[in-house]
Amino acid sequence: MPVRLDKLGVVIAVITGYAVTVAPFATFRANRIVAGEPQTLLNSLPAWAGPTLLAIIGIAVLIGLFRTPATFRLAASFAALIALFLLIGLAAEHLTPANNTYARVSPASGFWLLLFAFALLAADALTRLQPTPLMRIIVLVLAGAFIGGVLASGSWDKLSILKEYGARADSFWTEAGKHITLTIGSLVAAVLVGIPLGVLCHRVQKLRAIVLNVLNIVQTIPSIALFGILIAPLGWIAAHVPGAAEIGIKGIGMAPAFVALFLYSLLPVVANTVVGLAGVPSGANDAARGVGMTERQRLFKVEFPLAFPVILTGVRIVLVQNIGLATIAALIGGGGFGVFVFQGIGQTAMDLVLLGAVPTVLLAFAAATILDAAVELSSPSHSRTSA
């Protein structure tokens, strides 16, 4: 039987080949803002660690390059990812001079390319294995526990991003709280308003076109422009409406960011509610009428349960979208992880940018994974399969 190459495996092999032979694995800087000195993989690690990592990468690439069982591909990708996560911390320790508190060591493009390649291999293997929603969540939890364990062990403490965190630990968690408050708060508000509005649009055809067109227009406005547009009206309300300023309504800060995220959130919620309700089989409604259900009873006992997976898909879209958009809120004083992103850009400190960008990406990925699993668990097809 001839050995066949895997197309994705070829792409992964090309990426890893470039990452190992051409791209730097780590960057050393004498301080946080000067230009860095790129270091190859072998130069970045102790004498024993470099060849070990290359061996692990080589085995993982060979397994991915050919059409091997999905379990082998998953194990190989996880082994490579674990090695990368552990050894990048060792690279920081190896490259940082003793008793030097100013030097900075950061992962370079080679590390990020290797991380991307083996994350892609892991995702492909998981897709082929078709894990249940619960298994996907378990994998996510285990991955989070591993990263948390690495952070708690102190093995990453000499990485530049952790040094940036160490100097801003208190403000980091304050901004994290603001980011989550903006994201979840605007989502909850959009659900409370959007689902009833979606039901109304489903019932009234003429209203549906007007509402969806208006929300489509809002969606096309750039986020920075919408934040700016809201400053004037909210500032006027704060100045002229008694008690408005006391409850946090101001021209700048979290109020315009919250309103903007709420407005952006309405279209996915309303549209998915309309689509979900429209997709309810007419036979289900006819049967409900036949047993004497009222319109309200049909809505809550028949239509909503059947439309719930589609509505939840809209909620997933909103949550992932808002996690990213909340970063822009820092431009108008709304706080969030964007504070570190824009501070880092202003100071030419890319590790400070990463301090804001990495948690945002991880939050969005975790939210997408969890809600994807929830959508699948709530779908009628999954219920029939389980039964």
pLDDT at 33: 72
pLDDT of residue 284: 79
* Interacting residues of 223 by C-beta distance below 8 A, sequence separation 6+: 260, 264, 325, 328
Do 170 and 244 contact (CB within 8 A), yes or no? Answer: no
pLDDT of the residue at 3: 65
SS (H, E, C) 220-241: HCCHHHHHHHHHHHHHHHHHHC
Q: What is the pLDDT of residue 1?
A: 47
3-class secondary-structure state, position 20 = helix
Would you state the structure tokens that stand for residue 252, as one six-digit string? 């700048």
Q: Going edge to edge, which strands form the sheet with 26-29? A: 37-39, 26-29, 104-107
Half-sphere exposure of 323 (CA within 13 A, CB side): 18
Distance CA 233, CA 217 (A): 19
pTM of the model: 0.86
Check residue 387 and give its pLDDT.
46
For 227-247, the pLDDT digits (tens) are 778 877 877 777 777 776 776
Which region holds residue 24: left if phi is over 0, alpha if psi is between -120 and 50, else beta?
beta
Residue ranges of the chain whose pLDDT lies below 70: 1-3, 244, 247, 380-387
Q: What is the pLDDT of residue 311?
A: 92
Cβ–Cβ < 8 Å for 182, 258: yes
Domains and CATH numbers, the chain: 7-130 (no CATH), 169-386 (1.10.3720.10)
CA distance 123 to 288: 43
- At 137 the pLDDT is 92
DSSP classification of residue 5? B
Please tell me the distance from the alpha carbon of residue 151 to that of residue 249, in angstroms, as a whole number: 38
Per-residue pLDDT tens digits for 121-158: 999 999 999 888 899 899 999 999 999 999 999 889 89
Which pLDDT value is given to residue 288? 78
